Chain A
Amino acid sequence: MKENYRKERIARSIKARSDDIYALTSYREMWYLLFPRFIPIVGIAIVSYFLPLYWKKVAITTCIFAMLAVSWDFLSNCGLLSLGQALFFGIGSYTAGGLNHYLHLPIYVTIPVATVMGGFISTMILLPVVRLRGIYFAMVTLILPLMLMRLVEATKILGGTEGITGLSPFPNVWFEITLILAAMWASLFGLRRFIASDYGLIFVSMRDNDRATMASGINIYAFKAQALFIGSSICAFCGAFMTHSYQFTGMPVFAMEFSILPIAAAAIGGIGTLAGPLVGAMILVPLSEVLREFGTLRIVFYGLILVICVVALPEGIFHYASRKYNEMERWVKIE
């Protein structure tokens, strides 16, 4: 008779020991918790600071897309399937560009103002459709950035097809990298902590079933609006940052890639974890730069790698890695 085996998964005891205050009982427990957080933070910082200038710019773009992906995952965690991160990104970008160009506000005013105002404007635009669920909401978010793009083209406001150029730059590239890294880690760890809190729990409960959330006495529309504000503010910050980084804002800020790439990053990184999409973006954006030397074939290789990732690890890299880190596996004979 053929012998059958099954895989048994056991949580590492250190996982239980490193919960709450118990983490402080020994260096081993502390290191267990610190390792997956400390290594990426320090590693990425070191790499970013010592890269040549061109790759420094790539690192900045990577962080921007990572933030867009984290924000996308947060919204999808709240039951808001967005196909239009470009909408939030573009509004943030145009707000910062407009404030800087027309009102001559300095950079340390435009970015914070664009973050809050961008989030507010995006929320107001989407407020009427917040009652829509799933794919219907997604369709609206997909179409809005394209509409705004044509609106700018047709009415020639905010620089029209030429865009606005000559905006204030960052004082230096070190400042630029420090700011975007700080913002990225703050949004990741901030949101992860937020959705684990009792208040954040209401947001993530809407993903599974917003009717049940409603039957729990929660005004889901108010909470979805709050989620939209948080998610779109993060994207608006990215838009404002990119505007000053390139000293330009124009119609390309509503481009599809700002909507699609975060979703691809979330798909290969692992949806629902917030950290997964960040990992995905860290892989996809530099990869796309490395593949540049293949010229036209770039998109072919890029697509191929994407497909392989999704087929080989459908759960996502982060889910897989955290399982390997937190659980032991062994093969057990089936009696």
Chain B
Amino acid sequence: MSILEVNGITKAFGGVKALDDVSVTVEENTLLGIIGPNGSGKTTLVNTITGFVRPDTGSVLFKGRDVIGLPPYRITNMGIGRAFQMVKPFFHLPAFKNIIVPLASPRVRASSGGKYGDKDAVALDVLEEVGFERDSSVPYKTASVLPHGYLKRLELARLLALKSEIFILDELFSGLSIAEVTSIIPIIEKILLDGKTVVMVEHRLKELFRIADKVIVLNYGKKIKEGPPKEILEDEEVKKAYLGVEV
């Protein structure tokens, strides 16, 4: 069953068409990869789905309901979680306090009795899930002093805290070492095991193709290919567009 349907999205910034009639269907409990060269419209697509950008035409259906025109916080509360490519933690707050904010969202409060306060233990549980060592001082450190790898995990932790149904991860692996990526992949696999859906925008193809169920390729705002990772790898058009290899 498809949980998210993107139908014919077009978005132009001035004269440039960032997205040109893009349609994507995301099946429930699968991992969809979105790849494409720089400037191909990947992040614009994510921004459109999460409400940060309003498309010129097209619709985005989440469980059959159109989310176009809704503000980002409403979309988040419906269950579409989004991690930013450029990490956006609350820099002057300790790491675990960063998680208190999503825990105070209407979505989470509705499932936990509608109260604010006393969320520290829950926040630490969530942080532990994404690899913050619970007994160390790391969860208590101010986000501004945390290394990049932890900030990426913090983005993931925000979506876990929100109990999102779709995790949209915008270049989660960018700027991470191979070791760090290898330690994050099990977290994503666990999210899938829990029955959630994941959409990943990625440049790290090797890691992505290992875990993705389906991959779509964008180029100049157009969807040029869609299919399982294996087919994508062998497709000549993709190689040409993405890797710049002459055929």
Contact = CB atoms under 8 A, between A and B. Distances in A.
Interface of A: 197-199, 201-202, 204-205, 207-209, 211-220, 272
Residue in A198, A202, A214, A215 with the greatest tally of chain B CB atoms within 10 Å: A215
Interface residues of B, number: 32
B52 A211 contact: yes
A190 B117 CA distance: 17
Given A198-B100, A198-B104, A201-B101, A214 B92 contact: no
A91 B120 CA distance: 40
Given A199-B116, A199-B117, A214 B76 contact: yes
Contacts of A211: 52, 72, 84, 88
A217 B50 CA distance: 11
A217 B106 contact: yes
Contact of B89 (A202, A208, A214): A208
A201 B143 CA distance: 14
Nearest to B76: A217
12 contacts: A198-B104, A199-B116, A207-B92, A208-B89, A208-B92, A209-B89, A215-B73, A215-B88, A217-B77, A217-B105, A217-B162, A218-B73
A220 B117 CA distance: 19
Contacts of A208: 88-93
A209 B90 contact: yes
Interface of B: 50, 52, 71-73, 76-77, 81-82, 84, 88-93, 97-98, 100-102, 104-108, 116-119, 158, 162
Contacts of B90: 204-205, 207-209, 212-213
Contacts of A212: 84, 88-90, 158
A257 B23 CA distance: 57
Nearest to B108: A217
A199 B73 CA distance: 17
A9 to B, nearest CB: 13
Nearest to B50: A215
A201 B88 contact: no
Contacts of B82: 215
B92 A215 contact: no
A256 B90 CA distance: 32
B100 A220 contact: no
Contacts of A219: 71, 73
Nearest to A204: B93
A319 to B, nearest CB: 12
A214 B73 contact: yes
Contact of A215 (B76, B108, B117): B76
A213 B104 CA distance: 10
